Amino acid sequence: MKNDVIGSCPICSHELKVTRLQCTNCGTALEGNFQLNKFMKLNKEQLYFLEVFVKNRGNIKEIEKELSISYPTVRNRLDSIIKALGYQTGTPKTVDRKSILKKLDAGDISTEEALKLLSGEEEK
Whether the per-residue pLDDT at 76 is higher than 90: the answer is yes
Choose among 113, 6, 65: nearest CA to 73: 65
CB 104 within 8 A of CB 114: yes
Do 72 and 107 have their domain in common? Answer: no
Per-residue pLDDT averaged across 101-123, rounded? Answer: 80
Is residue 111 in some structural domain?
Answer: yes
pLDDT at residue 123 in the model: 42
Is residue 30 in some structural domain?
Answer: no
Coarse DSSP helix, strand, coil percentages of the chain, rounded to the nearest 5 percent:
45, 10, 45
CB 100 within 8 A of CB 118: yes
Do 79 and 112 have their domain in common? Answer: no
Q: What is the DSSP string of 67-92?
A: HT--HHHHHHHHHHHHHHTT---SPP
Per-residue pLDDT averaged across 49-77, rounded? Answer: 95
Q: What is the pTM of this model?
A: 0.59
Whether the per-residue pLDDT at 124 is higher than 80: the answer is no
Query: Is pLDDT larger for residue 119 or for residue 95?
Result: 119
Number of domains observed in the structure of the chain = 2
Domain that holds residue 113: 95-124
State residue 12 phi and psi, 5-degree precision: -115, -5
pLDDT at residue 91 in the model: 55
